[in-house]
Structure 1
Amino acid sequence: MSAVPLPMPATLARPEPTDEAGSGRATRGPRAGAGSRGQLVDRFGRVHRDLRISLTDRCSLRCTYCMPEQGVEWLAKSSILTTDEIVRVAEVLASLGIVEVRLTGGEPLLRRDIVDVVRRISAIEGVSGPLEVSMTTNGLKLPELADPLRDAGLTRVNISIDTLRPDRFAELTRRDRLDDVLDGIRAARRAGFSPLKLNAVPMRGVNDDELVDLVQFAIDNGAQMRFIEQMPLDAGHTWSRTEMVGADEILDRLTRRFTLTPIGERGSSPAQDYLVDGGPTTVGLIASVSAPFCGACDRVRLTADGQLRNCLFAREESDLLPLLRGSHGRGPADDDALADLLRRSIAGKRAGHGIDDPGFLQPQRPMSAIGG
């Protein structure tokens, strides 16, 4: 099929300005070496500046590579962090050097107070100014929330769209809502989010024949396409590396249609970006499995139920709830105690995710419960 642009004037997204390390992130001025409580540094010297916060494990879609269609065991409502608790953790992490926050899920827009969450986090002062807040979403609720979120301080959105075919979308997500995703993309563009990024997970025999169409769709609609290798984070634990569509294969297919020019070094950014036909549009490849970027990883994750994860594939977590809410008759801990636990969690981070290790075990939590 041919990619059809949405009926709006296209404004092509230009490549993000990069910092000196070439990470692909927008330059926000000098980053201080430490906050008021020191840095989040692991034993390999990696300084952590990027926080991913999962706001809920619930989602309005049921993507086959993420969660089962039925029988999902949701997190207990009582365990979900309150907005005050989320903000408190973010404030302490900002004092430890975190400068960027990405809100994820599940589907973060299902959280009723999402606009307030964005407003409060974006007001937190980090070591180089207010925290930069972005979001990964399926886009279904953006028509009603894009403008309020932009006004609240959200800087960027990544919208997931794995296929342009309505029948295939319904089969892949188990919901017939492709038109709603397209409406969400329109709303994000109208609200002025830039760069607007579109995420897709190529799957063999499912949507791998649409790679060129997805890039053309992004070009026609002023967005940047990002292809993410499928990772062993599915709820059914059916992932197979031999069936995975790798970054090299994706690149090979795209270069049959487009001229792709690498843009510098990716630094700590998960994506290797390429100019498409000389630009200004770009496409990104996230090769978490075939070309992992663990050596430059600067991310830490907070789950919706208050667990700190120092790696997406970690099998161990640090429980923040006892410190946030108190336990054994004691009240909540002070911020210094919280900072100490956060530092110890990061200090114990492993060198890499170990997918290629013979003894690799998939995390018990699926992606929807960890957060992207």
Structure 2
Amino acid sequence: MDAEEPYVSPLFDQHNRFHDYLRISLTERCNLRCTYCMPEEGVQLTPSEKLLSREEIERVARLFVSKGVRKIRLTGGEPTVRKDLLDIVESLAQLKSQGLESLAMTTNGIALRRTAEPLALAGLDTLNVSLDTLDPHKYVLMTRRKGLERVLENLERASSMGMQTVKINCVIIRGVNDTEVTDFVALTKTWPISVRFIEYMPFGGNRWEKRKLVPYKELLNRIEERFGKVEKILDDPNDTSKGFRVPGYAGTIGFISSMTNHFCGTCNRLRITADGNLKVCLFGDNEISLRDAMRSGMTDGQLHQLISDSVKRKKKQHAGMDARVMEEGGEYLLITPPHCHGPDQIGAYSNRLSHIDQHTGEAKMVDVGGKDITRRMARARARISLGVEAYRQVKENTNVKGDVLTVAKIAGIQAAKQTASLIPLCHPLALTKVDVACRLVWNEANEVEGKGLVIIDCMAQCTGPTGVEMEALTGATVAALTVFDMCKAVGRNMVIEHVSVLEKTGGKSGHFLPDDSDIERGNGSD
């Protein structure tokens, strides 16, 4: 009889890295709209029935802990907007009797006033708060929401309620908040927290520019200019942060150098997205759906094998891409920052452009053959500003070229129907309805210069596998261009501006409608 083979955990990859750190995204929703993390128009949300349930989260966590996971971090979106968060924390904290050593959570800190103490009592021991400025005005600019004073109060509350570890994660952007680095360091003088500075990273939608990146070595030099030589502290083998301390200070500082000095060689992290996909590498597109596996009736043993096969396919670094692209002076990838909520729910915050082939870098048309056929609608708006005479002619219908608004409506409808011919990678859609509406608005406050507006709304509908946002946007934009063309003889200072999607329905994302509702809750509109 053959000797029994030694047990090997399914969490070892082919490079002998053991993955004992699991990040679980609880939701795709967030109550902030941080400029470095999310496009202003928001993101598409997965229908709630396709997200992991509390029971499924508990089962997945138990499976991973049984195979050696020692740390679990709950992320999002914003975890505190999930109504059953406390129940999830209580159940996962019970795994500490089975080998789990730390249960952590990343949050923006807005709702900690009502959740910090219950979470600490339930077993949450580590809290990471994303905070990028100590200036109230700048906070609004960076997060597109108010709430800095609340976050600072909640941070102090969390520290005094028995939370073992409290950290601040700060993304540094040159010209935005880089001058505040020493102010953050000053917080650690009497406050036993860890402030970690994160290099600004690019992803689709955040308008990243290389000049905005501040390398961690430059930040360290700035800090030492004010505070003197800092002490290096011992980092754990798998730390992503390089830790330091100002001599005599109660807290510590750290640098996450994701751009200028990557840390793939010691990676011990696995991620589960809110919709249940296991992601073994932040940069990779290969995912397996643990949600679908569980809902199909797989046993724990079968799930272990599925997980093991996925982990063993993990590449040495950056999903097999050349590591030089992440080094200082090289090219840069479109990715999402490691501390914010995006990477743990890639299904919502895409880390790649859908129209770019991940292997060749060439443009491609997205395959929508597997998408559901649903009724879809989108509304878009564009506006064009006119001078006094042009505005008068449009309003009184005296333009020598004809009825400006009627021609613009017809042009918008025709353009929406021709979108696939105008935008190379758009799918040709059989539109069931297009409606263009124009209205005139005079800006009384600007009467001396004279500024009138034509506001154009375009609504497009279809029944199909992909959305009609581009059709609505094209219709609104071409209608505005038509107004421009017909009025250019009498108004050369016209400006077409504020082209945006107002609303859309249908498909995976459901109903999208911009919403500035209560900051305490994560609205599902975008």
**Residues 1:341 and 2:314 aligned together:** no
Describe how 1:1-372 pairs up with structure 2 within 5 A: 38-124=9-95, 129-232=99-202, 234-236=203-205, 238-258=207-227, 259-326=229-296, 332-353=297-318, 354=321, 356-357=324-325, 362=334, 368-371=341-344
**1:14 corresponds to:** none
| Structure whose residues are more often strand by fraction | 2
Please report the RMSD computed on the Cα atoms of aligned residues, expressed in angstroms.
2.3
User: Counterparts of 2:332 and 2:313 in 1: how far apart (Å)?
Assistant: 18
Whole-Å separation in 1 of the counterparts to 2:222 and 2:148: 25
Query: If the length of structure 1 is used for normalisation, what is the TM-score?
Result: 0.83
| SS at 1:344 equivalent | helix
SS of aligned partner of 2:314: coil
Q: Distance in 1 between matches of 2:160 and 2:183?
A: 23
Alignment-mate amino acid for residue 136 of structure 1 = T
Instruction: Tell me the secondary structure at the aligned position of residue 185 of structure 2.
Output: helix
Any conservation in 2 of the 1:104–1:136 contact (CA below 8 Å)?
yes
Secondary structure of 1:191's counterpart equals coil
CA displacement 1:9-45 (0-9 Å, x = unmatched): xxxxxxxxxxxxxxxxxxxxxxxxxx98724111111
The superposition leaves residues 193-245 of structure 1 with CA deviations (integer Å, 9 ceiling, x where unpaired) of 2332111000011100100011112334332211111223x341533344311
CA distance, structure 1, for counterparts of residue 51 and residue 7 of structure 2: 28
Q: CA deviation at 1:191?
A: 1.1
Of 254-263 and 102-111, deviating more is 254-263
Q: Deviating runs (4+, > 4 A) in structure 1? A: 358-361, 363-367
Query: Aligned equivalents of 1:225 and 1:315: distance in 2?
Result: 31
- The 3-state SS of whatever aligns with 1:337 is helix
Mapped contact 1:230–1:244 kept (Cα < 8 A): yes
- Give the superposition deviation at 1:126: 7.0
Question: Relative CO higher for 1 or 2, CA cutoff 8 Å, sep ≥ 6?
Answer: 1
Q: Structure 1 residues 241 and 44, CA, compared in 2 at 3 Å: closer, same or farther? A: farther
2:278 alignment partner, SS class: strand
1-structure distance, mates of 2:303, 2:265? 26
Amino acid at match of 2:343: I
Contact 1:274-1:284 within 8 A present in 2 as well: yes
Distance 2:248 2:156 in 1: 25
Kindly, what percent of the aligned residue pairs are identical? Answer: 38
| Partners of 2:24 and 2:271 within 8 A in 1 | yes
For 1:318 and 1:290, the matched residues in 2 are separated by 30
Equivalenced residue count is: 331
124 and 36 in structure 1: CA distance in 2 versus 1, 3 angstrom threshold: farther
Structure 1 unaligned spans of 5+: 1-34, 327-331
Per-residue deviation at 1:281? Answer: 2.1
- Alpha-carbon offset, residue 278 of structure 1: 4.2
